């Protein structure tokens, strides 16, 4: 479904991603864990070309795009195959909740407003916000805003959903409502890559766990293996916080 091959990223002379290989199967949920500064966000952003990797290739659903030489068309195609949920929600503040979810459907997929509204309403119901459709983001709690972010990511029915620390901006009491929506989305067979510091959540929701540090994948394995019997001492140290 999605394959990253030898992804390197430099910011100036700083080598931030040092040859990342990662394969995610259809319907698989992969959690990426690691200390801050290890390149997790850069990796996610490289998948949908919010950042352009310096070298390497990205394959989604049989279409391989070379990071260095990707055309505008390639980038657009990859963007359409991915849905991203951001730490800071990134909702359009001047648009109501419903319009935030509809926008991609009308402007990118060129659906009629009526059809877009129908799809968006179903998604907002799924994330428990049907009664907030006509509110502005500023009238919602952080947890509600993030649930709108999830509905928006789902709207284009992407091949893969990318979550970059979706609960890191939330007050502790709002974390669970967002995690439970993500769990539900995971249980519906969606292909997902989730960067998170919620180790207990990762253990529960992920099929596979990838531990990154300093621009490399230190170790990966099934969630069970990584949390109960990691092979590397560094992984053990980091994950022991969750045990």
The residues binding ligand ADP (CB under 6 A) are 11, 16, 34, 36-42
Q: How far is CA 31 from the centre of its chain?
A: 10
- Closest approach, Cβ 183 to ligand ADP, in A, equals 22
Distance separating alpha carbons of residues 136 and 224, to the nearest angstrom: 41
Which is closer to ligand ADP, CB of 38 or CB of 190? 38
User: Smaller CB distance to ligand ADP: residue 18 or 135?
Assistant: 18
CB 40 within 8 A of CB 211: no
Nearer to ligand ADP, 52 or 63 (CB): 52
Shortest Cβ 39–Mg ion spacing (Å): 8
- Which partner in ligand ADP, Mg ion, none is near 56 (CB below 5 to 8 A by kind)? none
In this complex, which beta carbon is closest to ligand ADP, that of residue 86 or of residue 227?
86
**Partner touching 158 among Mg ion, ligand ADP, none, CB below 5 to 8 Å by kind:** none
- Per partner kind, with CB cut-offs from 5 to 8 A, the member of Mg ion, ligand ADP, none near residue 38 is ligand ADP
Among ligand ADP, Mg ion, none, residue 42 binds (CB under 5-8 Å by kind): ligand ADP
Between 59 and 169, whose beta carbon lies closer to Mg ion?
169
**Residue 11, contacted partner among Mg ion, ligand ADP, none, CB below 5-8 A by kind:** ligand ADP
- Minimum CB distance to ligand ADP, residue 189 (Å): 27
Closer residue to ligand ADP (CB): 45 or 152: 45
Q: Which positions lie near Mg ion, rule CB under 5 A?
A: 40-41
Site of tokens 């100036």: 12
Task: Answer with the entry of ligand ADP, Mg ion, none that 24 interacts with (C-beta below 5 to 8 A by kind).
Answer: none
């Amino acid at each position: 479904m999605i394959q990253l091959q030898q992804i390197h990223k430099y910011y100036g002379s700083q080598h931030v991603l040092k040859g990342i290989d990662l394969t995610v199967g259809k319907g698989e949920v992969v959690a990426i864990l690691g200390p801050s500064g290890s390149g997790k966000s850069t990796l996610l952003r490289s998948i949908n070309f919010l950042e352009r990797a310096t070298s390497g290739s990205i394959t989604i659903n049989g279409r391989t795009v070379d990071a260095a030489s990707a055309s505008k068309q390639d980038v657009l195609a990859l963007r359409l195959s991915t849905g991203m949920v951001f730490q800071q929600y990134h909702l359009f503040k001047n648009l109501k909740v419903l319009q935030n979810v509809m926008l991609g459907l009308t402007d990118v997929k060129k659906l009629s407003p009526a059809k877009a509204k129908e799809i968006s309403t179903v998604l907002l119901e799924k994330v428990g916000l049907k009664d907030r459709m006509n509110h502005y983001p500023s009238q919602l709690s952080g947890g509600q805003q993030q649930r709108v972010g999830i509905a928006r990511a789902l709207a284009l029915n992407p091949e893969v959903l990318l979550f970059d620390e979706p609960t890191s901006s939330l007050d502790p009491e709002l974390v669970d409502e967002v995690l439970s929506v993500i769990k539900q989305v995971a249980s519906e067979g969606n292909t997902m890559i989730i960067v998170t510091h919620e180790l207990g959540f990762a253990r529960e929701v992920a099929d596979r766990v990838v531990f990154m540090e300093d621009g490399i994948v230190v170790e990966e394995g099934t969630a069970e293996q990584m949390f109960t019997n990691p092979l590397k001492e560094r992984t053990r140290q980091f994950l022991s916080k969750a045990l």
